[in-house]
Amino acid sequence: MPDFPPVRFLGSSFLGEIPLADLDPQATIPLERPGGGKPSFFRLPAYFQGIEQILRKNRGASLLGALGNRIGRPPELTEIREIRIYSEKHGRDYHPAKIEVQLGDRVLTFAMNVALTERGCQVLVNEFQVLNELKGKFPVACLPTVYFLDETPSSQPTGGPTAMVMYLAEWLEGFYEFHLAVDPADGRQKLVLWDTAGHNCFLTPDTADRIYGEISSILTRYYDFSSFYQIHPWHLAAGDFIARIDPDRVAVRLVAARQYGPLIGPPDLPPEEALFFFLLNLTLHLRLDRLDGVGELVWAEAGVVEPAVHGFWRALAEKEQRHEVPQGFHFGFRAYLRSLTGQDLAAGLEALIDSGDPRTPERSLIKANGDRHLEELAALIL
């Protein structure tokens, strides 16, 4: 029986191939909500070891299945020359790793999304199910492919999380996060693409418009007109969307889908009214981000609503072409929007705010900027 291929533990791929020993073997990963009787950290070596255990499980059967899905044939374990695991990022719920598999002369790259807390595990398992559901439900490819979900006992010292839960997914090469930042050259808000460490760049207004338009189109493509189901919640601040900027096009992908269900009810709500709430919620949350991705929660001052509305109409036209909605639906919806008054818009905003979690920090920003947002939206849809 062949030996399992060698596995190397490395720091972020943005920084180069830095071995774990050079990163400080005692390094830890901060966890959500430190204190409260639970450890506020997870040891980095234990994180790497847990991922390796999943990849090794059953002689790498799950990994070989994912590789076969990628190359179109079942590979042999002996074809794998090396596996490299990079600790890429650490967020509230997930701690994604980049997995590089040297298969002969090819390098195949995957993402391993890892949860280390009870809340994170619940979110991760649900998201894996949602991603699989959406893959079979919609003929669009804006979400990463997921391959398998598994868990392994944690080697964290006593008192830490008892299990690591993770799923292997497609790694979207050349895609990076983007966030609002203040350009010191003119003091204005602009989108910054987190290209590579130390090489972040401010995007032009045209490129930012294309990104916002693509986000709007993606979310609209996954909207179900019969059930009002939609992907939510989603957050630009969490890096849920990533972009690749090429000379001739801008590509955007959604990498998270925590839930898929109706945002607001009742189930017998007229389809036009439900779609209006979807559009309102979409344009509001596109304006929310964290400054530089990690700073304070901020409201995009301008340049969001118009591309978002254009992206919405573009996706709606695509759904008509695929017969997901009746032909001519968009004409009826435009007529419905034109029938709304300023009072109708204000009532819709209030109902949307009331339907959300009152504990979320976004709530106060939406309430503070909602009236001005409605004015901008009304100028485009009424």
d(CA 153, CA 342): 56
Q: Given 123, 139, 170, which residue is the final one in a domain?
A: 170
Enter the pTM of the model: 0.90
Q: Given 120, 136, 170, which residue is the final one in a domain?
A: 170
Q: Which residue has the higher pLDDT, 119 or 129?
A: 129
Based on the fold, state whether residues 41 and 104 are members of the same structural domain: yes
**87-96, 266-275, 324-333: segment of lowest average pLDDT:** 87-96
Query: pLDDT tens digits for 144-187?
Result: 999 999 999 986 655 555 689 999 999 998 999 999 999 999 99
Based on the fold, state whether residues 192 and 101 are members of the same structural domain: no
Q: Which residue has the higher pLDDT, 48 or 158?
A: 48
Contact 140, 222 (CB under 8 A): yes
Query: pLDDT tens digits for 244-295?
Result: 999 889 999 999 999 999 988 788 899 999 999 999 999 999 999 999 888 8
Written as one string, the DSSP assignment of 293-332 is: GTS-EEE--SSSHHHHHHHHHHHHHHHHHTTSS-TTHHHH
d(CA 223, CA 109): 30
Return the SS3 of 289. strand
d(CA 36, CA 24): 27
Contact 381, 309 (CB under 8 A): yes
pLDDT at position 118 is: 87
Based on the fold, state whether residues 118 and 212 are members of the same structural domain: no
In this prediction, residue 29 has a pLDDT band, given cuts at 50, 70 and 90, of confident
Phi-psi region of 16 (alpha: psi -120 to 50; beta: other; left: phi over 0): left
Q: Given 114, 147, 170, which residue is the final one in a domain?
A: 170
pLDDT at position 40 is: 66
Contact 13, 86 (CB under 8 A): yes
Q: Is 80 exceeded by the pLDDT of residue 350?
A: yes
Query: Average model confidence (pLDDT) for the chain?
Result: 89
User: Around 219, how many Cα atoms within 13 Å sit in the side-chain half-sphere?
Assistant: 33
Q: How far apart are the first and last CA of the chain?
A: 69
In this prediction, residue 80 has a pLDDT band, given cuts at 50, 70 and 90, of very high
pLDDT at position 140 is: 79
